[in-house]
């Protein structure tokens, strides 16, 4: 028996409620710190009262209630919080509890400043540093630093065939996710009650979570593309993909960047895209490799997709990220075509399947590390040179003042060309120039 319309509405409201995110953060040991506390300009009594409230596990500030009523307990000056948990008052060992609380809790600022206004003034308490670092790792699995290291490493050291197809899926998943965000325009969870552990993407809309989309698409695409091509246990691959996905999804709740509904929608949306595009990967990859005019079509398609999607009335990180993704995808696809023409990184014959993972030796690790180190240096230099040249050039062409580079980069006439050209060349260099350099250095 299905839910009625009212039941569905209640379920959606429940999953989109920021208080659910705040409760998850509290469960994981994240607590807000008052702005005065962050500046250290409140009295010792106020500090101790705040620590006592944290000790009782009170959720009053997340529900918007008044301070919980306390009834005195005759035992050694203890009082009972609203939830019935006894907490020492300032008359009975309060200083010892406060000192222990300070030693246990770690005050931190958001991991990144807000990309729109540089806001990073708020602080929060981390009571479980293991979860903080674990979920920080999870959220990095959907950021640029991960993409610019993971994809090249896979292309240079593991399997270019799988890497090309993985990037096709990644481009479509991220592009559709970013466009959907800008169409639906649902805000991110409100703060308060949510604690903003990360602020950089706060200028974007929240529905669906593109971190959850990439955190679903990348590991499960890798699983589907490699199982049967490489020899490894099915259960191991499925467990690894599932763990990767769950870690990324939970990290977005921990960071206060998405509601539960945003994350669930991102996972389901990504699965839908995988179902549609996975059967077409062979056709797309063969077209990129063999069709005579593939580079012209690839560049035109990605440019058209970008111009169609950038209709926001205000600036956000969404526009630049989408341009980076489209540029990277176009560069990789064009490099695949050129590699096929010149016989660089040829695909192994199908009769060699399935591949057995090589024995881990010192020589193997050393060569993989050298390839990665040399390649990343080349990519970073490429990005730096093109970024430094394309921004002033775009400003000059479109007659935009370039005295404040940060503000000039937010203009669409500057941001789109510089990001598309820069990351298009980064993608092309990663799959064509760097492997050619490896051949020259005898690192293939």
**pLDDT tens digits for 170-204?**
999 999 998 888 888 888 888 788 888 887 777 77
Collapsed DSSP state (helix, strand, coil) of residue 344: coil
> Do 326 and 250 have their domain in common?
yes
Examine the fold and report which residue of 69, 104, 139 is the final residue of a domain before the chain moves on: 104
> Do 227 and 266 have their domain in common?
yes
Over residues 37-52, the mean pLDDT reads 44
Flag whether 3 is in a domain: no
State the catalytic residues.
211, 258
Examine the fold and report which residue of 88, 104, 120 is the final residue of a domain before the chain moves on: 104
Q: b/e string for 28-57 if b means 16 or more Cβ within 10 A?
A: bbbbbbeeebbeeeeeeeebbbbbbbbbbe
> Do 95 and 205 have their domain in common?
no
Tokens of 287: 């077209």
Beta bridge partners of 86: 80
Tokens of 385: 């040179």
Tokens of 22: 């705040």
Query: DSSP of 104-126, one letter per residue?
Result: H-EEE--SS--TTT-----EEEE
**Residue 429 carries which DSSP code?**
I
Collapsed DSSP state (helix, strand, coil) of residue 185: coil
Flag whether 121 is in a domain: no
Beta-carbon contacts of residue 414 (< 8 Å; ≥ 6 apart): 391, 394, 395, 398, 400, 408
Q: b/e string for 294-325 if b means 16 or more Cβ within 10 A?
A: bbeebbeebbebbeebbeeeebbbbbbbbbbb
Over residues 218-245, the mean pLDDT reads 93
Residue 110 has pLDDT above 60, yes or no: no
Work out the percent of the chain whose per-residue pLDDT is above 90: 36
Handedness of CA 47, 53, 56, 57 (dihedral sign): negative
Band (112; pLDDT cuts 50, 70, 90): low
Residue 270 has pLDDT above 80, yes or no: yes
Q: How far apart are CA 381 and CA 191, in angstroms?
A: 39
Is-contact 14 20, C-beta < 8 A? yes
Flag whether 66 is in a domain: yes
Flag whether 124 is in a domain: no
If one counts every other C-beta atom within 10 angstroms of the C-beta of residue 247, the result is: 17
> Do 95 and 190 have their domain in common?
no
**Residue 186 carries which DSSP code?**
P
Is-contact 435 412, C-beta < 8 A? no
Collapsed DSSP state (helix, strand, coil) of residue 84: coil
Mean pLDDT of the chain: 78
pLDDT at 313: 54
Q: How far apart are CA 198 and CA 257, in angstroms?
A: 7
pTM of the model: 0.77
pLDDT at 395: 81
> Do 162 and 77 have their domain in common?
no
> Do 100 and 144 have their domain in common?
no
How many structural domains does the chain have?
2
Flag whether 126 is in a domain: no
Flag whether 307 is in a domain: yes
**Residue 230 carries which DSSP code?**
B
> Do 194 and 252 have their domain in common?
yes
Band (250; pLDDT cuts 50, 70, 90): very high
> Do 269 and 406 have their domain in common?
yes
Residue 53 has pLDDT above 80, yes or no: no
Flag whether 8 is in a domain: no
Is-contact 444 438, C-beta < 8 A? yes
Examine the fold and report which residue of 42, 69, 104 is the final residue of a domain before the chain moves on: 104
Flag whether 281 is in a domain: yes
Residue 168 has pLDDT above 70, yes or no: yes
Per-residue pLDDT tens over the stretch 313-337? 555 667 778 888 999 999 999 999 9
> Do 327 and 404 have their domain in common?
yes
Residue 280 has pLDDT above 70, yes or no: yes
> Do 72 and 207 have their domain in common?
no
Tokens of 308: 């169609």
> Do 56 and 154 have their domain in common?
no
pLDDT at 316: 63
What's the domain range around 44?
29-104
> Do 52 and 142 have their domain in common?
no
């Amino acid at each position: 028996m299905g839910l009625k319309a009212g039941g569905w509405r209640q379920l959606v409201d429940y999953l989109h409620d920021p208080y659910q995110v705040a409760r998850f953060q509290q469960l994981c040991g994240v607590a807000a710190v008052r702005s005065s506390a962050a500046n250290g300009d409140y009295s010792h009594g106020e500090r101790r009262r705040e620590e006592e409230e944290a000790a009782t596990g009170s959720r009053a500030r997340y529900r918007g209630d008044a301070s919980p009523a306390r009834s005195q307990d005759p035992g050694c000056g203890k009082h009972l919080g609203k939830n019935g948990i006894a907490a020492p008052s300032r008359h009975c060992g309060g200083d010892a509890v406060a000192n222990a609380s300070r030693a246990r809790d770690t005050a931190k600022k958001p991991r990144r400043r807000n990309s729109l206004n540089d806001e990073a003034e708020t602080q929060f308490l981390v009571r479980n540093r293991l979860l903080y670092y674990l979920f920080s790792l999870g959220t990095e699995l959907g950021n640029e630093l991960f993409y610019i290291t993971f994809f090249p490493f896979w292309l240079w050291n593991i399997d270019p065939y799988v890497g090309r197809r993985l990037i096709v899926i990644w481009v479509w998943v991220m592009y559709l996710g970013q466009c959907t965000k800008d169409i639906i325009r649902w805000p991110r969870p409100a703060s308060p009650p949510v604690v903003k552990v990360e602020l950089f993407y706060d200028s974007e809309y929240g529905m669906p979570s593109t971190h959850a989309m990439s955190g679903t698409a990348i590991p499960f695409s890798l699983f589907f593309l490699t199982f049967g091509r490489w020899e490894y246990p099915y259960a191991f691959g499925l467990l690894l993909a599932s763990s990767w996905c769950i870690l990324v999804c939970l990290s977005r709740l921990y960071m206060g960047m998405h509601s539960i509904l945003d994350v669930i929608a991102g996972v389901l949306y990504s699965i839908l895209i995988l179902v549609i595009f996975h059967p077409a990967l062979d056709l797309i990859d063969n077209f990129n490799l063999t069709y005579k005019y593939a580079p012209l079509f690839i560049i035109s398609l990605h440019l058209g997709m970008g111009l169609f999607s950038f209709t926001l009335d205000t600036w956000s990180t969404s526009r630049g990220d989408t341009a980076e993704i489209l540029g990277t995808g176009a560069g990789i696809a064009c490099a695949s075509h050129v590699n096929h023409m010149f016989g660089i990184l040829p695909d192994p014959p199908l009769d060699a399947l399935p591949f057995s993972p090589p024995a881990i030796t010192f020589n193997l690790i050393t060569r993989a590390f050298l390839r990665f180190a040399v390649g990343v240096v080349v990519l970073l230099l490429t990005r730096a040179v093109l970024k430094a040249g394309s921004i002033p050039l775009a400003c000059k062409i479109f007659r935009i003042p370039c005295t404040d580079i940060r503000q000039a980069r937010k203009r669409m006439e500057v941001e789109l060309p510089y990001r598309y050209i820069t990351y298009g060349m980064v993608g092309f260099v990663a799959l064509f120039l760097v492997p050619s350099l490896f051949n020259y250095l005898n690192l293939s």
